[in-house]
Structure 1
Amino acid sequence: MSRVDVVRAWLRDRGAEKIPHAGGSLYEHLNRVRDRVEGHGLGEDEQLAALTHAAYGTDGFPVVLLDVADRQQLRSLIGREAEAMVYRYGGCDRGRTWRALPSTCTVWSRFTGHAESPTPAQLRAFADLSIVNELDVYERSPEIAAKAGDYFRSLFPTWAPLASPAVMADCHRTLTIGPPGGH
């Protein structure tokens, strides 16, 4: 069994297939985000983080598959680097982080209340996962698209220096912003 298959079995054991989410179940969403990350040529750690990105819940999705106090369990499953991505993503205080991210390169934690200054590679993984996750939700929920579309169109282009070019191109296509750098 591949590592991805092991993680998928873990997600099913945690009930992810029965948790409603935009476009079906949480399990389906997690798999779509992972597949999209893979399609952008991102590495195994990024793919495993994408597949488990909501394990601790998120600022926008409060359902928890694993208590943050049990981080070692997820580390054992997906590895230290991928779990750190999940922890940063799930713990992000979006209100304090997202708008300021391009200028501060700081991620505020809703778990601890503290700020973190990730390395450029960690920041890129965070930006990529955040964007890809929201693109999947945007495409599958007309309500979220109507409510958050303008916000995403104003926010994510400012993240271009932080995110992968392939993710930004997908963002521009999906949100119909126009080509990066275009007028």
Structure 2
Amino acid sequence: MTEQAARALLAERDAETIRHPGGTLAAHLDRVHATLTAWGARRELRLAGLCHAFYGTDGFPHALGRRDELTPVIGPDAEALVYFYASCDRAYSYPRLTDGGTFRDRFTGAVSVPDTAARRDFAELTVANELDVLRHSDLDGGPLRALFATWTPLLSEGARSAVSRAAW
């Protein structure tokens, strides 16, 4: 359950050849991990950041593997964060994250209300991910800026500071 083992699994699944804003998926995952590290995130969240696209996401459809393949590599807590992140139905869940916290799983359609700790982790990982994508693309960051402003109560000081410094 180390970053080295996670990177080896990602390489085995060709993350170094999959195109992503800023180069490859592997490079993006490393940058998200580094951002979370700089913000002082705990180990499980950093590992989740490194592997957050393993199952694909609502915005990135390239799945690299299954839960039973990732769990032994990063541990059950980090894997649960990866699944939670990947399963997010963004259109439904993003605007509700601080307004009651209702979340819809895009894989199953199930609606739940995650606890505050899970929503904090999700918000932190999402901000790290989206700021990296924006830095390496020509996407309009205005909608995310407005969204992240509503997420401020869930974000660490590092994430709040990065949002305020971002070039939208």
Sort the TM-score into its range (normalised by shorter chain).
over 0.9
TM-score of the aligned structures, taking structure 2 as reference length: 0.96
Q: Does 2:60 match 1:64?
A: no
SS in 1 for 2:16: helix
Residues 153 and 175 in structure 1, CA contact (< 8 A), matched pair in contact too: no
CA distance in structure 1 between the partners assigned to 2:103 and 2:37 by the alignment: 24
Instruction: Report % sequence identity.
Output: 42
CA distance in structure 1 between the partners assigned to 2:50 and 2:11 by the alignment: 12
Structure (1 or 2) with the larger CA radius of gyration: 1
Identify unmatched segments of 5+ residues in structure 1. 177-183
Deviation of 1:75 (Å): 1.1
Q: What CA deviation, in whole Å up to 9, does each residue of 1:2-51 have, x standing for no partner?
A: 81111111100000000000000000000000000000000110010000
Residues 93 and 102 in structure 2, CA contact (< 8 A), matched pair in contact too: yes
Partner of 1:39: 38
Deviation of 1:165 (Å): 2.0
Partner of 1:179: none
93-102 or 24-33: bigger deviation: 93-102
Residues 107 and 115 in structure 1, CA contact (< 8 A), matched pair in contact too: yes
SS in 2 for 1:112: coil
The total of aligned residue pairs comes to 168
Residues 96 and 103 in structure 2, CA contact (< 8 A), matched pair in contact too: no
Residues 102 and 112 in structure 2, CA contact (< 8 A), matched pair in contact too: yes
Q: How does 1:45-60 map to 2 (within 5 A)?
A: 45-60=44-59
Q: Does 2:81 match 1:85?
A: yes
The amino acid of 1:46's aligned partner reads L
CA distance in structure 2 between the partners assigned to 1:41 and 1:7 by the alignment: 20
The amino acid of 2:109's aligned partner reads G
Q: CA RMSD in A?
A: 1.2
TM-score of the aligned structures, taking structure 1 as reference length: 0.88
Partner of 1:13: 12
Identify unmatched segments of 5+ residues in structure 2. none
